[in-house]
Amino acid sequence: MRTPWYDKIMSLDKKILYVIMFIVVMIPLLAKWTYNPAVMPEVKDIYDEIEGIYAYNQSHPDTPQGILVSFDYSPSTNAELDPMTMSILRHAFMRNIPVITWSAFPDSIDLAKTITTYIAKEFRAVYGQDFVFMGYPYPMNAAVIAFGSDVRNFLVKDFYGNLSTDLPLLNKIYNYKSIGLIVTVSGTSYPRFWVTYANTLYGKKIATGTTAVSAAEFYPFLQTDQMIGMMGGLRGAAEYEKLVEALEITIIGDDIERYLRNLYSPEDDFPWDTKIFAPGFTDEELREHLSTRKTARTGMASQASSHFYVIVLIILANLGYFFKRRAENKR
């Protein structure tokens, strides 16, 4: 007796499903398709907040506001979250906003350090003056509370072993009063923790970047204004990337490659510290820096095709289920 078509569909080998999924994910990546997302209000709000800090700093050059970017994720979620931190840092450095970064997990110290210096290098940001990296503040909740009074008492040294009191940036920005925005990028419930301490205790503005699966958890905080904005999943990252790209074109122009190539010259007076980053870009580095400007949008093309593939599978499986049940009822 021949097996009915619905039984065949319902018992499809999962190896076949996996292989098709692999192909569906790979084709847009290899073809370098990009996705052009509509920007959602919760993402635009973060962008506007940083622009607001820039405007404030323009009118108050002696008492500037900075942003604190907390890398609250480990490498497992970096595909979704790295583009967010990169775009936020690009935006801040482009607007000369002082940046403090740290990592909430020991296994993301290198990741946070690499991304911070990687983006700082694109804008000739000087370590200690324009940005600092505080490493892994342990325990994290104590560090978050310490920022309420003077973080230099708790984090006596930065990641590189410099005394916090020796860093010009930390002498201006050492507590929440001079932090305009906290950006927590996380694949866990960490943003909730920032709301509890930094927002509830000190009234600080919090923005979050989170994985798509965690996004639902934080919508209530947006509604109550305990968070000013959210980048949800790769889609949120793609939206922010698009906003930053538009700003970059306005400020730098559309030939980013030429801008980066001419950024450093051997005879300029940039205060080099090769421990932080080496000046100049090789051709390979240039290509990489250009491609990271659309990582999220390239990834979204892949995600779009995989979503549509899963939807087709759901429809197929449900058709099979429906016809099988009908056949059983007839019998």
Partner 1 sequence: MKRTLPLFLAFFFGIIGIIVQMVPALKGLMDTMLDWMAIIAAFALAVGISSLTRHHMTKIRRKHKDIFFSYVTFIAMFFMTIIGLVGYFRPEGALQGLFENMYNYVRVPLDASMFALLAFYITSAAYRAFRARTWLATVLLLAGVIVMIGRVAFGPFIIFNDITAWIMKVPTTAAMRAVNVGIGLGIVATSIKIVLGIERSYLGGGE
Angle at 38 between CA 32 and CA 42, to 5 degrees: 120
Using alpha carbons, select from 283, 293, 278, 291 the residue that is nearest to residue 261.
Answer: 283
- At 265, give phi and psi (nearest 5°): -135, 155
Beta bridge partners of 131: 99, 127
C-alpha–C-alpha distance, residues 37 and 163, integer Å:
43
Q: Which lies closer to partner 1 via its Cβ, residue 126 or residue 313? A: 313
Q: Judged by CB under 8 A, which of 96, 162, 188, 306 binds partner 1?
A: 306
Question: For residues 224-243, which are near partner 1 according to CB under 8 A?
Answer: 233, 235
Pick the stretch among 50-58, 178-186, 290-298, 315-323 that binds partner 1 (CB under 8 A): 315-323
Q: Judged by CB under 8 A, which of 18, 253, 258, 268 binds partner 1?
A: 18
Question: For residues 135-194, which are near partner 1 according to CB under 8 A?
Answer: 138-139, 141-142, 145-146, 149-150, 153-154
Radius of gyration of the chain (CA): 23
Exposure string over 187-202, b if 16+ CB within 10 A, otherwise e? bbebbbbbbebbbeeb
**Total of chain residues touching partner 1, rule CB under 8 A:** 58
Supply the minimum distance, in Å, between the C-beta of residue 112 and partner 1. Answer: 12
C-alpha–C-alpha distance, residues 307 and 37, integer Å:
15
Question: For residues 261-280, which are near partner 1 according to CB under 8 A?
Answer: 275
Instruction: Fill in the DSSP letter of residue 122.
Output: H
User: Is residue 107 a contact residue for partner 1 (CB under 8 A)?
Assistant: yes
Which residues fall within 8 angstroms of residue 120, CB to CB, at 6 or more apart?
Answer: 89, 93, 99, 127, 130, 131, 276, 277
Supply the minimum distance, in Å, between the C-beta of residue 317 and partner 1. Answer: 5
Burial of 154 (0-12, 13-18, 19+ CB in 10 A): middle
User: Is residue 291 a contact residue for partner 1 (CB under 8 A)?
Assistant: no
Supply the minimum distance, in Å, between the C-beta of residue 97 and partner 1. Answer: 27
User: Is residue 223 a contact residue for partner 1 (CB under 8 A)?
Assistant: yes
Amino acid identity, residue 235? R
Q: Which lies closer to partner 1 via its Cβ, residue 114 or residue 162? A: 114
Q: Judged by CB under 8 A, which of 32, 288, 322, 326 binds partner 1?
A: 322
Exposure string over 206-230, b if 16+ CB within 10 A, otherwise e? bbbbbbeebbeebeebbeeebbbbb
Question: For residues 58-87, which are near partner 1 according to CB under 8 A?
Answer: 74-79
Q: Judged by CB under 8 A, which of 27, 31, 310, 327 binds partner 1?
A: 310
Residues of this chain that bind partner 1 (CB under 8 A): 12, 14, 17-18, 21, 25, 35-36, 38, 40, 74-79, 107, 110-111, 114, 138-139, 141-142, 145-146, 149-150, 153-154, 201, 212, 215-217, 219-220, 222-223, 233, 235, 275, 300, 303-304, 306-311, 313-314, 316-318, 321-322
